[in-house]
Amino acid sequence: MSQSTSSDLILSRRSFLQAASVTAISAAAISTQTEASPEATTVTENPLQEEPINPDFNLASAVTNTEASVATIVLNRMGFGPRPGDREAFNALGANDEARIAAYVEQQLNPDPAQDTEVAQRFIEAGFQTLDKTMNQLWRDHYRNDPGGDWTWTTLPIRETERATFIRAIYSKWQLQEVMADFWHNHFNVNGWESPQRHFFVQYDRDVIRQHLFGNFRDMLEAVAKSPVMLYYLDNESNTRSGPNENWARELFEIHGLGALNYYGVQSQSGLPSHEDNSNVPVGYVDGDVYEATRCFTGWTVSNSTSRGDTGEFMYIDDNHDRFQKSVLAFGAINFPADQGPMVDGLQVLDLIANHPGTAYYMCRKICKRLVNDEPSQTLINSAAAIFQQHVNSPDQIKRVLRHILNSAEFRTGLGNKIKRPFEATVSAMRLGQGDWLFGLDDDTSRFFTNYNRMGQQLFTWPAPDGYPDDKEAWSSSTPMIMRWRMYNYLTAETDENGAYRMPVFESSSAIGSTAPKDVLDYWISQILDRAFTDDEYYLLISFVAQPGNSPTQELPLLLDEEYHRRLRSLVSLLFQTPYFNMR
């Protein structure tokens, strides 16, 4: 690490203000990312003087030249960042980076719930009541049984799913599973806090997203199409031959399947050229395909009345189905004869979409963007899409695609081209800082969720079907950054009902065996960032830790008590606020 060797840094007022302003420098770095110069800027003279510290220094350059370890990159991309000891455990998996990644990928692709003992214990402590309820029980207990408009009871399923999601992301050893659960929830986005979805959202998270996240994409499409949560959200429960509703079919093509990049507008179905990889299918889809698919899904609905059984479960009503011939992704030719059997039309639409080469490309591009960076190479996308197509009927199709992407050289390189979204940033900080929140409904988590939701990514709340944005531009403007910094400050300062800090910064620092500012700073840099700083940056941070009149190498009196504790918490929060922590 490039650091100062000075043993006696006298901190001027201006220098202290510059040290404290590293937050503002971090903001500029994240919100004005540019092409980096080949080398990071350094200085050879002592910057702690009355004049500004290297006013031309561009922290954005340092971000793109960061040399983080492969362990740090992998644990931040395949999961929500390391907990203490995770880097060491990863490095013990093999003799080189390729072997370690291969071993870790196989671990993560084959999760064993029985080994997730910490999550299981925290679920018990939280006292969740709805996570194991069947769809019928959720419908009956929390939708039909509304005791006098009791919001806390009727919304229990969505609120418990929200809290369970945080527990799993923070404490689960199966981090890739949680990353992909987050990915699929965004891909098949539903506003889970709307009624009636909120009353039975547990079913969507458990039986649709989590059950299929490493499985077969076609199977997942069908589970989504039949979920009462999606049926209500995109109005297919009211899609009938006498009153067709195209919302579900439109999003099935545009967001869930082929993607908007394969949309060719309002032109004739017969006017589309063949796809370059398959002459039997059109290059993409047009509005005519959406309208015809809408007819295919008529009659797919929910058992939501006494005459239908009122179970809340998926059902098909043949009398509401448009039984006449149709054309979907067939150049306008009839490929759906009249009077097919129950649900056959809709199931065949799912087959066509899942098998289309445009879907393979669109889905693999989106997965690469989530796991690698905002601009994955065409080579990686194309090779992943080939595996997606080759294993379109395999029960572990998604797992095979993930294995290919995660073992690629592109996956383990290029830190700094993607920003952590608010959920990732919060969970990552809590994992590194060993934050302890129970997230039970009886626990006082109101301040946590107030601070978290202000960051702009409240779970399961994005109103549009496209899910939360997944590029750094969407999350690097001033307001999201300010809310992010406030969240970090809150996490390091929050106490439980007994007055103990929920993030045990002081206890963790005690393991250093020294209170010298340099030792403390080096310890937390290694824990949080696992990277080198330039001299400019290191001077700013050591100045902040030492404070006026103290030597960076001389131990501070431990009995400074609250002042020392506050300084430690501020340091940890400050390191969380650096662009190095917020990029992945």
pLDDT tens for 412-466 read 987 768 899 999 999 999 999 998 888 888 777 888 999 999 999 999 999 999 9
Instruction: Give the pLDDT means over successive 10-residue stretches in the chain (584 positions).
Output: 32 34 40 34 33 34 57 95 95 96 98 96 95 97 82 91 97 98 98 96 98 98 98 97 97 97 94 92 97 98 95 98 98 97 98 98 98 95 98 98 97 84 97 89 85 96 96 89 93 89 86 82 90 80 75 61 81 91 89
Residue 50, classed as helix, strand or coil, is: coil
- For residue 556, the model assigns a pLDDT of 64
Tell the residue number behind the tokens 């662009």, with chain if given. 579
In a domain, 244, yes or no: yes
d(CA 173, CA 79): 9
Contact 245, 239 (CB under 8 A): yes
Name which of 486, 253, 238 is nearest 354 in CA terms.
253
Asked whether residue 377 is domain-assigned, the answer is no
pLDDT at site 549: 63
In a domain? residue 134: no
Residue 320 located in a structural domain? yes
pLDDT tens for each residue of 533-573? 877 788 888 888 877 666 676 666 554 567 778 888 999 99
| Cis peptide upstream of residue 517 (ω within 30 degrees of 0) | no
Q: What is the pLDDT of residue 18?
A: 41
Q: Give the helix ranges, DSSP H, for 421-531.
A: 422-432, 446-453, 472-475, 478-493, 505-510, 517-528
46 in a structural domain: no
Assess contact for 382 and 546: CB atoms under 8 A.
no
Residues ≥6 apart with Cβ < 8 Å to 111: 174, 176, 177
- For the segment 162-192, what is each residue's pLDDT rounded down to a tens digit? 999 999 999 999 999 999 999 999 999 999 9
Separation between Cα atoms, residue 284 and residue 265, nearest integer Å: 10
**For residues 388 and 257, what is the distance between their CA atoms, to the nearest angstrom?**
13
Return d(Cα 395, Cα 214) in angstroms, integer: 9
Q: What is the largest CA-CA distance in the chain?
A: 87
Give the pLDDT confidence score for residue 430 in this predicted structure.
Answer: 96
Residue 434 is assigned to a structural domain of this protein: no
Q: Which two tokens stand for residue 375?
A: 């601009």
Give a yes or no: residue 285 inside a domain: yes
Which residue(s) pair with 315 in the sheet? 301
Say what the pLDDT of residue 246 is: 97
Q: For residue 194, is it within any domain? A: no
Q: What are residue 427's phi and psi, to 5 degrees?
A: -65, -40
Query: What are the tokens at 206?
Result: 């458990």
CA–CA dist 454, 428 (Å, integer) = 17
- The alpha carbon dihedral of 100, 106, 67, 414 has a sign of positive
Q: What is the DSSP letter of 451?
A: H
Q: State the residue range of the domain holding 252.
A: 217-355
- What is the residue whose two structure tokens read 């004049």? 51
* Distances, alpha carbon 123 to alpha carbons 152, 424, 524, in Å: 19, 21, 30
Question: How many Å apart are CA 580 and CA 416, to the nearest integer?
Answer: 8
Residue 200, token pair as written in the block: 């039975």
Q: Which residue has the tokens 């300010």?
A: 482
pLDDT in tens, 477-514: 888 889 999 999 999 999 888 888 899 988 888 778 88
Segment holding 20, helix H or strand E: helix 13-20
Domains identified in the chain, total number: 1
